[in-house]
């Protein structure tokens, strides 16, 4: 187990920004109750939890915790899926993936893993609109 998550895991690793924790079941991801105060002390932007999805139409699920940034749980995180896409591509052997981030708001993402990066699509919610004058 990783302190702060109290959830058994199949894999735990780190990329440049975050820890990635692969759980054995979707229920472990959904029911995780992280200790945000403890996660805030990690030497990373945050923790991404993931597992295979129960629904056969979906490849994997995730939840993303970034308390050090002032966001205990991010509702739908494009940057996390930039690393989750290749992570699951290697495990599932496919370049086209469907993901659901299982936050309270929940969001579905469609990923296409390319040689030079990743393309992400899905429904978006505008949270800020503005104009920048340079």
**DSSP assignment string, 27-83:** HHHHH----HHHHTTSSSSEEEEEEE-SSTT--EEEEEEEGGGTEEEESS-HHHHHH
Average pLDDT over residues 73-100: 94
Task: Measure the CA–CA gap between 2 and 13, rounded to whole angstroms.
Answer: 11
Q: Identify the CA nearest to 98 among candidates 62, 73, 66, 63.
A: 62
What pLDDT band is residue 1 in, cutting at 50, 70 and 90?
Answer: very low
- Output the CA–CA distances (angstroms, integers) from residue 73 to 36, 59, 66, 119, 121, in the order listed: 9, 21, 6, 23, 21
Task: Measure the CA–CA gap between 78 and 81, rounded to whole angstroms.
Answer: 5
Q: pTM for the whole thing?
A: 0.85
pLDDT per residue over 27-52, tens digit each?
999 998 899 999 999 989 999 999 99
Residue 125 tokens read as 């919610």
């Amino acid at each position: 187990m990783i302190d702060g998550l109290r959830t058994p895991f199949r894999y735990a690793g780190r990329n440049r920004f975050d820890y990635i924790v692969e759980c054995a079941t979707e229920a472990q991801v959904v029911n995780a109750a992280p200790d945000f105060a403890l996660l805030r002390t990690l030497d990373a932007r945050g923790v991404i939890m993931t597992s295979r999805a129960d629904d056969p139409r979906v490849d994997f699920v995730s939840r993303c915790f970034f308390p050090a940034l002032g966001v205990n749980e991010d509702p739908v995180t494009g940057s996390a899926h930039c690393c989750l896409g290749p992570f699951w591509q290697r495990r599932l052997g496919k370049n086209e993936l469907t993901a659901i981030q299982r936050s309270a708001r929940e969001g579905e993402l469609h990923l296409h893993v390319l040689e030079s990066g990743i393309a992400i699509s899905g429904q978006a919610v505008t949270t800020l609109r503005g104009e920048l004058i340079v």
